[in-house]
Amino acid sequence: MQKRKLGKSNLQVSAIGLGCMGMSFSYGPPKDKQEMISLLRAAVERGITFFDTAEVYGPFTNEELVGEALAPLRGQVVIATKFGFDVSPNFDPRGMKGAPGLNSRPEHIKEAVEGSLKRLKVETIDLLYQHRVDPKVPIEDVAGTVKELIEAGKVKHFGLSEAGAKTIRRAHAVQPVTALQSEYSLWTRGPEKEVLPTLEELGIGFVPYSPLGRGFLTGKMSENTSFDSSDFRSSLPRFTQEALKANQALIKLLGSIAERKKATPAQIALAWLLAQKPWIVPIPGTTKLNRLEENIGAAAVELTPDDLREIDSAASKIKVEGARYPERLEKMTGL
């Protein structure tokens, strides 16, 4: 597996990381713990060194899982986690009821970091993201608090998630931002307009989450795909029957390129992201070894400039149906 640096920082990670959320949260019931520990260790054996979690995933259980699985391999991996929510025991991962409010007050950040350090079984968090921008707390206060944590040796790198260009600049002026994590894929291209140019200018890496469109870009879903009520996608406008049907045009495009490249639609979707910038590191999630290996295989798929022009030209004619999130959650993005 090739390595990539996140922007101008010294943080070097595998070109493809692993999003761990779905192992214990959001996509149906939590998966078997021992199976997931085996999968996380198998990822390291296959060259993945970058793992993504958050205190809110579970809540807390995903950090515990990642901490336990990677403890024996600590010197070989980079673990990213996130703060920024008031986590309540009633939190419903579908984001519809009992959802936590935002909380990036300095004292809360420090509490969250102490909890994450224990659960991850580490002395220092490699990369700490603010999970969502908190409009009630100036971003300068957030960046200043993380700066203190870095000086105290509890955190190595500072990241933001779903932040807009102005917020990124303000935070970066206080404490250099190593990476931004936001949704980005062939069917979510919002960051291209303002965010990606800002990151390039400032030397900040980009970590696309949901690079496979929460599974849609694998080509395994049809208009008849249904989701259990415990699956976060059951509440998303983009996963209604109508939207799934309308968005199949994107799958046809990926399928045609995949056939030519002797690859899968998922591999083309990931290879497309990797080809955008050398400082982009997608973090597809999975709970299955064969999918993990398929995703890793994307790093070996080479898309030529002609391929990329063809994909962009065809994709520009396809209108993606459905919002990313319900309105309440959409309001938390791009601040």
Residue 94 lies in a domain: yes
Q: Look at residue 226 and tell me if it is in a domain.
A: no
Range(s) of the domain holding residue 175 = 3-214+277-301
The answer as to whether 235 is a domain residue is no
Catalytic residue among 27, 57, 184, 325: 57
- Assign 229 a pLDDT band (cuts: 50, 70, 90): confident
Q: What is the pLDDT of residues 43-90, one digit of tens each?
A: 999 999 999 999 999 999 999 999 999 999 999 999 999 999 998 656
Domain count, the chain: 1
CA dist 258 and 301 (Å) reads: 10
57 is annotated as an active-site residue: yes
Residue 74 lies in a domain: yes
Residue 121 lies inside a defined structural domain of this protein: yes
Question: Which CATH number goes with the domain that contains 26?
Answer: 3.20.20.100
pTM: 0.95
pLDDT tens per residue across span 291-315: 999 999 999 999 999 999 999 999 9
- String of DSSP letters for 258-326: HHHHTS-HHHHHHHHHHHH-TTB----B-S-HHHHHHHHHGGGPPPPHHHHHHHHHHHHTPPPPS-SS-
Q: Of 334 and 321, which is predicted with more confidence?
A: 321
**pLDDT surpassing 70 at residue 208:** yes
The answer as to whether 177 is a domain residue is: yes
pLDDT value of position 96: 45
